[in-house]
Chains A and B, each alone.
Chain A
Amino acid sequence: MTRMPPSVGTVVDWAAGVMFRILFAASVLFLVIPIVVSVVLSFDDRQFLGPFPPTQFSLRWYRSFLDNPAYLEGLIVSLKLAVLSTLISTAAGASAAYVLSAGRWPGRDVVEMLFLSPKFVPTVVIGFSILGFASAIQVFDPFTRLIMGHVVITIPFTVRATLASLIGIKRSLMEAAISLGAPPWRAFLDVTLPLARTGIVAGGLMAFVLSFDEVAVSLFLSDPFTQTLPIVLVAEMRANLNLTVAAVSTVFAAVTVLIVFFLDRVVGLDRVIGQGLYRG
């Protein structure tokens, strides 16, 4: 018996398997390991940036983080900003997605493109443009400016995620509710909103994470008295580089992971039911 030459399919499968392993290794190497290193370093007892791994551990950098009011203020600004801009972006994005999915009208694609465009414009450009626009309309409050900027950069994500979930909802469901006596707004609240919830929450989650660690736009829109945590982090790193930065990064990462984990449990559970909903 001669051996069969490997078929094209087998070769492609094999190549895909190898590619996957390489990508996986690369993401561990460049994404996970640096975070682990920075988490370990944040517990380093040494006064200087010594070679890895640390020889002694302590919580001194966390103490230094809590002793520096700039970090705490930055954290509070970042959280307030992320919560507010997520709420605004989710409400606006979900409404926009609803209008976009409701039907076809002239210019619809252009409007959709406009809502998604901040994704493709460099954030530096967005930051500078909003700074100029804010002063043109006499808005000088940095927090308001930051909200404007963060809503703009997060809205493509809330629009996209909501659009994706709205596509799965049949038009006849709304019409059924209306024919049963519900005015359109009521039918929307009773039918469309519960069925689109997965997408809306997912979009909001992305918006939150995006806003929470945004640097470029915030750099333009903040002022010395209202700074987000990433901005404080960058400034401190420039001024006096010590391992407080590692401690702050660890807290920062932990907050993000916690929020993602918490929301994913809510959304994740919902999605299990959600798939059952849209099937058939």
Chain B
Amino acid sequence: MNSSGLDVVNVVKRFGDHAAVDGASLSVKDGEIVALLGPSGCGKTTTLRLIAGFEALDAGTIAIGGADIAKLPPYRRDIGLVFQDYALFPHLTVADNINYGMKQRGISKIKRDSRRRELMRLTRLEGFDERRPLALSGGQQQRVALARALAISPKLLLLDEPLSNLDAKLRETLRIELREILRGVGTTTLVVTHDQTEAIGLADRIALMNRGRIVQIGTAREIYEEPATRFVAEFIGRSIWFPGHLKQGTHGAEFLTDDGFALRINAPANARAVNGLSIRPEHVRLSARPNDVSRIPATVMSVEFFGAELIVACRLNSGGRVIRIPIRTDDEAIPVAGASVELGISPDRCKVVADD
């Protein structure tokens, strides 16, 4: 068991007939940063509120460091929470905001002041002690909220959409900055977000949530390369989806798409109901190599210029579906509209999954 890791097991929360969280399980190891990623309405915010204690569980357990916290009121959970709107106390100074949690715990003024100074240095807020929160920029407000949550030396830090309230231009810089601060502190952290860039940029691992359940947990790379379901494949990065079914061919496993292509696959057909194949567009080669076993004849429809890459729209000769394939601008052979091509697909790039 983790020393202060988070374990969420089979958690259920219903609002009326609707199960907002429907048997979600995930764990965050001690000191790890995990992003809870999913589309809006998938139940991630409810999960965060269940962990923080603002909603009561209908079923399941939530434990920090092995101790069940589900029965504790939110003010006894020792969880630092950074709200989406930061929720800084507008009538208190920055220093009093950061002090608030320590005061509730009866920490002496000397210890409070030294801890606050340490956190303000860490979050680069030195000199802002007497400012009011609303006299600060969005990024500074976020750091005050972070310092305030960290001041109580929480066992777990929860961040709710930490970058969504910030200017798009600033987001990139602040994401890197936030990651450095979180790394420096080493607190077990769960980041709730709907933005995959935010999740990939901040977290060690990503828990992908859909319809109240966690559909896959892993590093960004694992999830990208081995999506568990069609939802995962399409939520993270781009995906071309071929509905169809598995078939044991003469040379090994094959996937027959509904529009009539037989694609060789590597992955052994497991027991799960597989009814589709996902492939990343960048893994489709515009001109098949001699040793490519899976080839799809197609016709180039158009070539669009996007700076670093070109998007080639191809119509598949059988079935007539149009797929869009990115190629690099400096690639030798840039096709022209109307050209016939043979798309090459490597078996190891084909991921057969269930359509959820």
Contacts and interface: CB of A to CB of B under 8 A. Distances in A.
Interface string A175-207: 111111111101100110011000000000000
Contacts of B76: 181
Interface of A: 170, 172-173, 175-184, 186-187, 190-191, 194-195, 276-280
Nearest to A277: B90
23 contacts: A172-B84, A173-B87, A173-B90, A175-B54, A175-B81, A175-B83, A175-B87, A176-B81, A176-B87, A177-B89, A177-B100, A178-B54, A178-B74, A178-B75, A179-B74, A179-B75, A179-B79, A180-B100, A180-B101, A181-B105, A182-B104, A276-B132, A280-B134
B38 interface: no
A17 B75 CA distance: 56
Interface of B: 52, 54, 73-81, 83-85, 87-91, 100-101, 104-105, 132, 134, 148-149, 152
A22 B84 CA distance: 50
B98 to A, nearest CB: 10
A276 B76 CA distance: 32
Contacts of A277: 90-91, 134
Task: Across the A-B interface, give the 6 residue pairs with the lowest CB-CB distance, nearest first.
Answer: A180-B101, A181-B104, A172-B87, A176-B87, A179-B81, A277-B90
Given A170-B85, A178-B74, A278 B152 contact: no
A179 B80 contact: yes
B101 A181 contact: yes
Nearest to A173: B87
B75 A176 contact: no
A125 B44 CA distance: 54
A184 B91 CA distance: 18
Contacts of B152: 180-181
Nearest to A280: B134
A contact patch SS:
helix
Contact of B134 (A180, A190, A279): A279
A49 B213 CA distance: 86
A176 B83 contact: yes
Nearest to A279: B134
Contacts of B134: 276-277, 279-280
Nearest to A176: B87
A175 B152 CA distance: 15
Contacts of A181: 75-76, 78, 101, 104-105, 152
A195 B104 CA distance: 19
A177 B90 CA distance: 12
Contact of B91 (A178, A183, A194, A280): A194
Nearest to A181: B104
Contacts of B52: 175, 179
Contacts of B88: 176
Given A175-B83, A179-B80, A276-B134, 17 more contacts: A170-B87, A172-B83, A172-B84, A175-B87, A177-B89, A178-B75, A180-B152, A181-B104, A181-B152, A182-B100, A183-B73, A184-B75, A190-B89, A190-B100, A195-B91, A277-B90, A278-B90
A191 B79 contact: no
Given A178-B75, A194-B91, A280-B134, A172 B104 contact: no
A91 B53 CA distance: 30
Contacts of B100: 177, 180, 182, 190
Nearest to B145: A176
A30 to B, nearest CB: 42
A116 B142 CA distance: 40
Given A179-B52, A181-B104, A181-B152, A195 B90 contact: yes
A2 to B, nearest CB: 50
Contacts of B74: 175, 178-179
Nearest to A182: B104
Contacts of A176: 81, 83, 87-89, 148
A280 B78 CA distance: 29
A183 B75 contact: yes
A231 B105 CA distance: 55
Contacts of B84: 172
A99 B139 CA distance: 34
Given A178-B74, A277-B134, A279-B134, A173 B104 contact: no
